[in-house]
Amino acid sequence: MLGDTILTTLPSALECLSWSSDCELAISAHDFIELMIPRLSTPGPSPTNYEILHLRANLFTAAEVDIEEPAAFALFSPGEELSVGNIASLAWSGPGLARHARSALAVHTERLVLALYAAEGRPTEVGGWKRVLVVNRVLERFFEGVYPGLPRDENGDRAPLIKRAQRVRSFAWSPCVPARWAEECGVASAVQFLAVGNDAAEVVVLQVRSPCNSAEREWGAGIVARIPLGQGGKLPDLGWVFGEYVREQRWAGWVAWSPWEVVEGGVVSVLAYGTVERVYFRRVGLMLDPLKSKIEIGEVEEGGVLPLGVTFNGPVRWVPVGLGGQMVLVATSPGAVHCFAVGTDGPLEVKETRYAREVWDEVGGYAFEHTSDTSIDLFFPPFRLSTKADLISLSLPSAKPTPFDPPWIDSITRSLASFSEEHDLYGHAEAKAWGFGASPLGDFMALCYSLHPTHMPEYKIPAEYRCTVAVTRARRGPAEDFALPSEGNFVGAEVSAEALAFSIRAWVDEQPEAPEDSASVIRDIVQEISTALHLPSSYAPPPLSSPTLSLRHALFTSPTITRLRLERLISLYFPWYTPATDTNTSLIRTLAVATHRIPHTTYRASLISTKILEAYSMAVSKTRALSAQEVEDIDMLPAHEFERCEICGCPIHFEGFDEGRCEGGHEFVRCALTFLAIQAPGISRFCGLCERQFLTDAYLQGDVYEDSGAGSDPATVNDNPSVSASSSTNGAAPETEKEDDGSDPMPLDTPARTEIDMDEDSDPITESTEPTAEPAPLDPIIVLPTTGAANRSLAQILLQACDRCPYCGGKFVG
């Protein structure tokens, strides 16, 4: 996992590197996306620790991006029709947006096109990645509805106003809504917003919806807010000099969205954006209650606008956690580091702290390390790297320098020596840092750099392009003992098993030999992770009305089951170790008790659901996992043969949890969750870490409900356990669902929208000579509740509750 990986390409823009929540690395390189997918399912060292995928990012169909003819000079075109479409920036979304609770990748090109990519198949194969959404098309359709008086001309070209409104200048993902708060409110935790700055001097907020975090069958987005940028500017004129053009720019050159903070009645964050002259801060509130849901974007308060006398030459990022009741925004300019502290309570006030730095180079990325509740360390390398340790570490929010020994110096020293010797440069070589970032747990850093001569011109053809991605530990130190950052860094949020597996395997690969006492080592690692995750010593299941959430809490929140799952995850990289506690027995106990305790009035009885209950009865009789009192409490079904072979019709005996065999000799793999035999192709998926097989929702298409005899509707089946309702594809509020428990129907969350006030002279669109329009009708925010599952079968509830492997916590593949 650690070490240098050489890519046969060269970055074309700063901030070219981004980590996903599963430790997947994305690097932008001209018109290609380089994906480095860690190989986590194979224990032990391997020749390559990553699968390297090359995705083309500038090839679009006419349905995705209009073909632009070369524009006349009088139109003052930004050159989108002439650009080759190299990647300008990229960033991963939070987990849960893509299939199997994975992250989606947003890629912004120099043609001002923003597209989303996601793994629809195997993430380790190029064919598994698809472009799922072009944000420009969403903006175009929205503004064409806002300005119906501006239709396309006879050649199909859009009006200039529509062109400006659909161009994306900058973007930022919103952080994921805190999972615990979302569960308490009974909504999906994978609510994802995307803020984009367009060419029409607006910041537009969209809610991205996918088949995995909503009931829609296709990817889409709805505009939920429009924010005008300051005073309206004049349209470009050919008589302007460059300085006038820069001063009149009103589009947001950057957008940054702070983490959510839980407050009474909802969660709040701060949306920051800036032009060449000012920095703006607005509070964003997401309020949820049983009757309505809405997003509120506050007005620009007096203390929320700061004049800017310099231009930022690096990323503008929020610190990923709050520090003592305030959020901190970090940016760099030539000769200074800027820290903006914003309070979470009371009137919005911004305090700026600057640190003057000697190096005026641009910055390719930031990394953070949580040191205490009120401070955090910031790391950033200058663009022109050297083998001596320049100032690259500050303590925030005080902006004071801290000692730091860069761990990537050794990699740069080796690479420079080899490059100089290969090209006879006699030491006249330098390294340039294009991208930099920390892993999700903060215990590793990745630096993308390239090598160049310093005293002569450089001529290269694309076949000679090379760059190095160095993955190192965050700080130098011995690796005898497994350790996560002392303060837990940012692991208070949802931590994926892939991120933990990355850290575990990196530590195992560093060990010179296998430990003598594997059991003791694994116990120490489990304790270290438990401390970092703040796992409680005891657990009381919360009173949840949703059967899906009840199962999720039983399988993924219980400290006992979580520790057993961690032990199972760690043992994947100790093949010779056998756990002392049988994880299967504990999981079967938990499944049997939690499943049989679900009230029958909360789901529809079906044929497959009955088979699953009978399979649990057989599993319990095989392992004797339950006590007599537990069996009496949950009313187990009598154990008998319940499956027949679809090939020969013979009964399939329950001889084990992994395989099933009928009397005719046909053998089948059993689902590791339902213990049913997998008897057809295309109805199974497997864990990306432990490689156990599980049934998919495709298997449920042949289910038969006992009350109606009709097959289940595939539209009601969803991979996301937090989604149990359907909504229309045009963003309309879903209808009220009724539960069969005799209670009053609970309406789905229907957002109450507050239109953002626009000053008379604040919108350049309305000041131009082009037609005006009424305020745009904004799309409702679809925040689907997790209650009301009476229209689903028990089989659907069970498969949706387990959106990841219950044995090791890994995400599914397939």
Chain position carrying tokens 């401070």: 375
CA-based nearest residue to 686, from 124, 209, 35: 124
Residue 694 lies in a domain: yes
pLDDT of residue 594: 82
Better pLDDT: 390 or 792: 792
pLDDT range class, residue 640, cuts 50, 70, 90: low
Range of the domain at 619: 513-709+794-813
Q: What is the pLDDT of residue 318?
A: 92
| Structural domain total, the chain | 1
User: What average pLDDT score do residues 800-812 get?
Assistant: 88
Question: Could you tell me if 441 and 489 are in contact, meaning their C-beta atoms sit under 8 angstroms apart?
Answer: yes
pLDDT of residue 491: 46
474 within domain boundaries: no
For the ranges 247-251, 450-454, 781-785, the lowest mean pLDDT is seen at: 781-785
- Residue 742 domain flag: no
pLDDT top residue among 391 and 515? 515
Q: What is the pLDDT of residue 773?
A: 44
pLDDT digits (tens, 9 = 90+) for 168-191: 999 999 988 776 666 666 555 567
Q: What is the pLDDT of residue 242?
A: 65
**Domain contains 732:** no
pLDDT of residue 362: 86
d(CA 226, CA 319): 25
| pLDDT tens by residue, 302-359 | 567 777 777 888 899 998 887 777 889 999 888 889 999 988 777 788 888 888 887 7
Place of tokens 């190989």: 39
- Report pLDDT digits (tens) over 94-130: 888 898 889 999 999 998 999 999 999 899 999 999 9
Question: For residue 542, what pLDDT is reported?
Answer: 64
Residues 6+ apart with CB under 8 A from 800: 548, 697, 717, 718, 719, 720, 721, 723, 724, 792
- Mean pLDDT within 249-260: 86
pLDDT > 70 in the chain, percent: 75
Instruction: Please report the pLDDT score of residue 131 as a whole number.
Output: 94
**pLDDT (average), residues 596-607:** 82
Residue 668 in this model has a pLDDT that exceeds 50:
yes
Residue 185 in any domain: the answer is: no
Which residues, in sequence order, are bridge partners of residue 726? none
pLDDT at residue 89 in the model: 93
Per-residue pLDDT band for 88 (boundaries 50, 70, 90) equals very high
pLDDT at 503 over 70: yes
State residue 314's pLDDT score. Answer: 86
pLDDT, position 637? 52
Report pLDDT for 520: 84
Mean pLDDT computed over every residue of the chain: 78
- Is residue 759 very low, low, confident or very high in pLDDT (cuts 50, 70, 90)? very low
pLDDT digits (tens, 9 = 90+) for 398-423: 888 888 888 888 888 899 999 999 99
Least confident of 76-90, 277-291, 483-497, 745-759: 745-759
Q: Give 29 or 323, the one with higher predicted confidence.
A: 29
Summarize pLDDT for 510-535 with one digit per residue, the tens.
887 777 777 888 888 888 888 887 77
> Per-residue confidence at 707, pLDDT binned at 50, 70, 90?
low
Q: How far is CA 113 from CA 34, 90, 139, 171, 393, in A?
A: 18, 12, 11, 11, 34
Whether residue 134 is contained in a domain is answered as no
**pLDDT tens digits, residue range 710-721?**
444 433 434 443
What pLDDT is stored for residue 739 in this prediction?
Answer: 37
Report which listed range, 592-601, 602-611, 650-659, 686-695, is most confident.
686-695
pLDDT confidence of residue 189:
57
Give the CA distances from residue 421 to residues 33, 85, 122, 424, 793, in Å, rounded to whole numbers and listed in that order.
30, 35, 41, 5, 68
Decide if 174 contacts 186 (C-beta within 8 A). Answer: no
Nearest to 63 by CA among 121, 115, 118, 99: 115
CA distance 418 to 426: 11
* pLDDT tens per residue across span 204-224: 999 898 887 667 788 999 998
Whether 542 maps to a domain, the answer reads: yes
Task: State yes or no: pLDDT of 586 exceeds 50.
Answer: yes
In-domain check, residue 317: no
**Over 70: is that where the pLDDT of 582 sits?**
no
C-alpha span between 140 and 18 (Å, rounded): 28
Confidence of residue 724 (pLDDT cuts 50, 70, 90): very low
Residue 505: in which H helix or E strand, if any? helix 497-510
Contact between 707 and 605 under an 8 Å Cβ cutoff? The reply is yes
pLDDT band at 132 (very low <50, low <70, confident <90, very high): very high
Q: What is the pLDDT of residue 811?
A: 92
**Per-residue pLDDT at 524:** 86
pLDDT at 71 over 70: no
In angstroms, the CA 800 to CA 230 distance is 46
- 379 SS3 class: strand
User: Higher model confidence: residue 634 or residue 331?
Assistant: 331
Answer yes or no: pTM beyond 0.75.
Answer: yes
Task: Give the three-state DSSP class for 158.
Answer: coil
**Which of 141 and 543 is assigned the larger pLDDT?**
141
Residue corresponding to tokens 């190299």: 86
596 or 463, higher pLDDT: 463
Q: 135: closest CA among 49, 205, 45?
A: 205
